[in-house]
Structure 1
């Protein structure tokens, strides 16, 4: 039950972010600059900066994770090879 609730909350959050970002990037350029609706949105240059920052952070985290996994895997292989060579020698 909890997993369905968490999934629903994530779906609602993702939908809200998508709708907000879509309105910000697609509709707001056609609204007059002095309209009060502009107070709900940050400046337009952040519509590009935020996704770029998120992509850079995500790729850095993913690259770090993959490099850690590869390093640990190589250490395990080296340890196995070393123990196999020691058993063969003895």
Structure 2
């Protein structure tokens, strides 16, 4: 039951973010600059900056994780080889 609730919550959050970003990037350029709807959105330059920052952060985290896993794996292999050679 809890996993369905979490999944539904994630689906709703992802849909809301997608809808907000879509409106911000695709529809707001056609709305007049003095319209009060523009107060709900940041400046348009952030429509590019936010995804770029998120992509850089994501690739850094994934690359760091893979590096740590590979280093630990090689250490274990080296220790096994050393133990095997000592016997």
Do the structures match in fold with TM over 0.5?
yes
Deviation for aligned residue 1:35? 0.2
Is residue 2:33 matched to residue 1:33? yes
For 2:61, the equivalent position in structure 1 comes to: 61
The alpha-carbon deviation at position 68 of structure 1 amounts to: 0.1
1:22: which partner in 2?
22
User: Over the residues paired in the alignment, what is the CA RMSD in angstroms?
Assistant: 0.3
Q: Deviations over 1:14-70 (max 9, x none)?
A: 000000000000000000000000000000000000000000000000000000000
Q: What SS is found at the alignment partner of 2:44?
A: coil
For 1:1-90, list aligned pairs within 5 A. 1-87=1-87
Taking structure 1 as the reference length, the TM-score comes to 0.96
Q: How many residues align?
A: 87
User: Any stretches of 5+ residues in structure 1 without a counterpart?
Assistant: none
Name structure 2 gaps, 5 residues minimum: none
